[in-house]
Structures are given as structure tokens and as C-alpha cells.
Amino acid sequence: MSKTELETGDQLSVRFDENGLTPAIVQDAQTGEILMMGWMNEAALQQTLETRKATFYSRSRRKMWVKGESSGHIQEVLEARVDCDQDTIVLRCKSHGPCCHVGYNSCFYRRIDMDGLRLETVAQRVFDPAAVYKK
Amino acid sequence: MSKTELETGDQLSVRFDENGLTPAIVQDAQTGEILMMGWMNEAALQQTLETRKATFYSRSRRKMWVKGESSGHIQEVLEARVDCDQDTIVLRCKSHGPCCHVGYNSCFYRRIDMDGLRLETVAQRVFDPAAVYKK
């Protein structure tokens, strides 16, 4: 596929990396908040588009996982987008519960102090992980 | 650094991947629109935080580049965030011009038709690349 076709065509042709993965960004469709970034292999992308539930590939566990399969906090995909060179996905989602396993709505709950390079938590915890992720 | 320190501490300790890179998502601070995703090595992250201009590492050209160095369309970083396990960055930016080299405000100008797997352009072109990227 030529660069022009890739960038301006209507054919989905995701360019997975050398490990067969592509980054997928989850955004709250209503608020615009960026909730998380996960990795997808081709099967995870296909399952996401078919089921409309955000599904990723875990590099550490080496298997697919459905966001919310443990917590019940699924991300329902209302719209999916691809970028110009088709190597990154954005999922605009309806959240069914907070996104981050640490207990926040978004995984990006810490601001980088650009002068001191320290982190400052700028969000409120909305659930207790110990109560949600039962052993 | 322990998992708890990584997730809840105040120390910036970005976990770059096996190629020394981490994804960085650029978001319009005013509208919440996701504009692009780029890769950063440690030097690009450091330069970004110091200069407040989004700076990336090009995997194909194997060098750092400042977003907007050709077009003038820089991304001024108003806030930087890191995710729970410190392997992804979000930059909340003020755009000084459209972000995407194809001519759109955002690189995510195409929606994936989840039934037919075709792409549909859902944004308007805002500039002519040929006029901006002069040879």
C-alpha cells in the first residue's frame, strides 16, 4: 500500500510493529479524558471491533484480555479511529466504571512537575482496588 | 523501585521499552482532542520538559525531532502526565497550528467503520501540506 493510500485511503491496514502490536488509546467519549493506553495484536483489534469492548494484548502475561474482565469496569467502544500512518488506534468509549486498577478514573492521575521532575497526584481515588480485585 | 512506589510514589521513573522508547500522546489542552502519538527516548522526554515543546524520537530517521520544526506548528506543553506504571506519557498542549502533516488538526481524522472495516474521513483538512512543507 502506498503512503498516499495509507494516509488518505478508506482501507483499514493497521501497521503492527515487529512484535505484532499497536498502541490503542482509550478516551472517554463524553468528557474527552484520556483513560489508558494499551497494546493490541491483530486478534485483539478484531475482537474489540466485533464485541465493542476494548480488548488488549498483555505483553507480560502474553495473552489477550478484555478490559474489565476482573473488575467489571468494561470500556464500551462507541467509535474507533486510526491515525494517518495507521500505527495507532484511538477508542472513544463509554466507561462502565473507573478505568485504572490503582483506583482512579484514568491511569494518568499524576502530573509531572516539569521543574522538579517530581510527580503530583491530581485526581481523586474513586474506588478501593482491594475491594474490587478479589483474590 | 517497587510496584507500589511506581504506581503511587512521587518519583518520575519512566520505564522505557527494550528500544529505549515510550509512547507520548499529545492532547489539545483546551478541547481534549487527541492530536497525535509519538515516541520519546529519554533525551526527547528531557528536552520536552525543559523546553516545553513536544519533542520526539523518530524510529525511521533515528533521531530526535521537535514537533513543528518544519511546519512551525509546534505543540506547547502546558501539562505532562504519566500513567500508573510509568510507561506512557500524556502531553496536554496548546497547538500552534494543525498537528497532522496530512493537513488535519489531528492525526486521527478517520473513523473505522466497525461493521465493514472501511475508513471514513470525519475531519476537515485545514491546510495544504504542499504549501507548508516546502522542499
Q: What is the ipTM of this complex?
A: 0.96
Cell of A63: 495473552
Kindly identify which residue of chain A lies nearest to residue B6, measuring between CA atoms.
Answer: A119
How far is residue A108's CA from residue A7's CA, in Å, rounded to a whole number? 29
pLDDT of residue B135: 55
pLDDT band for A123, please (50, 70, 90 cuts). very high
How far is residue B80's CA from residue B49's CA, in Å, rounded to a whole number? 8
pTM for the structure as a whole: 0.96
pLDDT of residue A135: 56
pLDDT of residue B132: 85
Total residues found in chain B within this entry = 135
State chain A's mean pLDDT as an integer: 96
Question: Burial, B60: exposed, middle or buried (Cβ in 10 Å; 0-12, 13-18, 19+)?
Answer: exposed
Measured between beta carbons, which residues in chain A are less than 8 angstroms from residue B37? 23, 25, 83, 88
DSSP code at position B127: S
Residues of A with a Cβ under 8 Å from any B Cβ are 7-12, 23, 25, 27, 31-34, 36-37, 49-50, 52, 77, 79-84, 88-90, 100-102, 104, 107-112, 114, 117-122
State chain B's mean pLDDT as an integer: 96
CB-CB contact of A80 with B114 (8 Å): yes
